A and B are shown apart, each in its own frame.
Chain A
């Protein structure tokens, strides 16, 4: 089969510093295009059956009356009207915002601080890297069940037994409607912060050492350097994790399902948990669809913002690279001393290389 023709003009593969950018389709006949897409057909079918078609059909069905899981007749916005009046649904939406809030307050600073701390250690740094990553190996269900046991309100709970030694407690933890979301988010942070910490550490190693040396000469102390150099240098990565944290928090489902089943009295009911319960327990598929669609809309808006941010970063990196290249060309023309060259090349090229690591699917 010779369906794949060489690119027209036959000037392949000049060393491209950033290979991901070469996604422009090659010239080719319609038949060649179809033959190529045929290789992707199995994956495309599964994406269609298990993701794309269901998402679209959920949006459409949210405007229909449902019998069982099948739409029967068009209702317009009635499902939405009923759902938004339902106090349980309102509670779930409100809870969703609390999940997001606590996820940001706890999930962003904890891995950031731990990364800076562990990165700064001169001894045992490797041991601690392994230690903080260990919880990430524990499956979500097991994390949830383990913490449910540790935090159980009765006397057997480890947390309350420890508090009893100090003479405090007992605390109701998951059974206290005021703190149940906070407690669930805490267990999620425990489960997930290790991986984020390792990614931060990798990025911290990419900071230019000379910045710290310059700050040392200016007499800046540890915290000042962290605040004025470290944080600005990794702000892009922090923004990325903020976006992921928010998107992840809106998708919370299994943790409250296992730990509290949404209780006490719906206090920890997350939107997607309600979507599942409405469908499989309350026999109210209409409400399930509406809650799904509302969450879907929020995630689409967030993702759109994220994509825009990403494109802007890519463009900025490209501009920077071009500027560096022009600069280099000008300098080599003027035959300025060879010494500065590597430094400038580095300044220009480091940024895009790191972006590529961050976002593998980087494209135009």
Chain B
């Protein structure tokens, strides 16, 4: 819509001229092509996964003549999607609790309490954002196999085939801390002073003043974290190698080599639906999250 507030290269008046109209049509065509590649591909893949195998492997790609809904049940039971969803959900819940609670406190310390060394710690976190722990696969894996430190002879706990390392790893996410910190920075210190004068403790100030004022950032980070944990694959794959603990992504990867291709596509649809549904529900938060964080996770 041509809202007055929109900043565009050509003015509304120029758009109404002949060449302006031509340009609009060209740009519209480019957009339609891009949108088709973005949207039609997943849709077509999912639809064609439901066509009968004979048609599926037939030569020219066509709109399927009829859909075989029975495949959905076959695939669900084959990969045990009930279990996969449950496991992904458990990984997600623990990750959310760990990240939102501990990283929130961490950011509160850095933003509002500012002890000696806080500025240095912020620098360390900015560096940590750029250096993922996949740069140290062996060392991280050692710490998981002999938690907490594989290097010391502590006879640590073997945390493979548990969700714990995945939860804790979500907490070790510098991006989350930085986003929280920048939001807390915008909360005036006056509120804290007032609470302090009323005798509130440091922790009480966090839970009673900061948290209630930070709902938008918590929702945004929560959603980003959800899509992130849902899509995470590498560490889930390394940590959860026992069958009944596998998550959706690990299960899909495992199924990709053994399942018939048309069934695999149905399975992919199962994995795609939750994040898309999440987006549909929280679209406003996700898109405003772009403004809030400035960056995507």
Contact = CB atoms under 8 A, between A and B. Distances in A.
A141 B249 contact: yes
Contacts of B128: 47, 51-52
Given A142-B252, A292-B136, A361-B181, A195 B264 contact: no
Nearest to B45: A146
A299 B131 CA distance: 7
A150 B49 CA distance: 12
A198 B78 CA distance: 39
Contacts of B212: none
Given A138-B42, A142-B272, A123 B102 contact: no
Interface stretch (B3-11, B63-71, B79-87): B3-11
B226 to A, nearest CB: 11
Q: Give the contact-size bracket for chain A.
A: 35 or more
Nearest to B199: A2
Interface residues of B, number: 125
Interface in B20-72: 23-24, 27-28, 30-31, 34-35, 37-39, 41-42, 44-45, 48, 56-57, 59-61
B268 interface: yes
A296 B108 contact: no
Contacts, number: 370
B114 A40 contact: no
A54 B136 contact: yes
Given A134-B39, A140-B233, A23 B118 contact: yes
A190 B37 contact: yes
Interface stretch (A154-162, A171-179, A335-343): A154-162
A260 interface: no
A278 B150 CA distance: 19
B131 A300 contact: yes
A122 B186 contact: no
B287 to A, nearest CB: 7
A121 B106 contact: no
Contacts of B10: 120, 212, 222, 225
A131 B39 contact: yes
A302 B135 CA distance: 15
A53 B181 contact: no
Contact of A136 (B98, B119, B296): B296
A43 B252 contact: no
Interface string A36-49: 11011011111101
B57 A156 contact: yes
A contact patch SS = helix
B31 A128 contact: yes
A42 B117 CA distance: 17
Interface string B176-203: 0111011101101110010010010111
Contacts of B18: none
Given A117-B27, A150-B41, A195-B290, A253 B125 contact: no
Given A139-B230, A303-B130, A292 B135 contact: yes
Interface in B99-151: 102-103, 105-106, 108-111, 113-119, 122-128, 130-143, 145, 147-151
A55 to B, nearest CB: 5
Contacts of A195: 290, 296
A167 interface: no
What 6 pairs across the A-B complex have the smallest Cβ distances?
A: A360-B182, A54-B139, A139-B231, A54-B136, A131-B35, A43-B106
Interface of B: 1-2, 6-12, 14-15, 23-24, 27-28, 30-31, 34-35, 37-39, 41-42, 44-45, 48, 56-57, 59-61, 98, 102-103, 105-106, 108-111, 113-119, 122-128, 130-143, 145, 147-151, 165, 168-169, 171-172, 174, 177-179, 181-183, 185-186, 188-190, 193, 196, 199, 201-203, 206, 227, 230-231, 233-234, 238, 249, 252-253, 256, 261, 264-265, 268, 271-272, 275-276, 279, 287, 290-291, 293-296
Interface of A: 1-4, 6, 12-13, 19-20, 22-26, 28, 32-33, 35-37, 39-40, 42-47, 49-55, 57-58, 61, 69-70, 113-114, 116-125, 127-128, 131-132, 134-142, 145-146, 148-150, 152, 155-156, 158, 161-162, 164-165, 190, 194-196, 198-199, 202, 204-207, 209, 212-213, 216, 222, 225-226, 229-230, 247, 251, 253-254, 257-258, 272, 275-276, 279-280, 285, 288-289, 292, 295-296, 299-300, 302-303, 306-307, 356-364
22 contacts: A23-B114, A33-B117, A39-B113, A46-B98, A49-B172, A50-B165, A54-B142, A55-B135, A58-B138, A61-B139, A122-B1, A137-B272, A137-B276, A145-B253, A155-B59, A195-B296, A205-B7, A276-B234, A295-B135, A296-B131, A360-B178, A361-B122
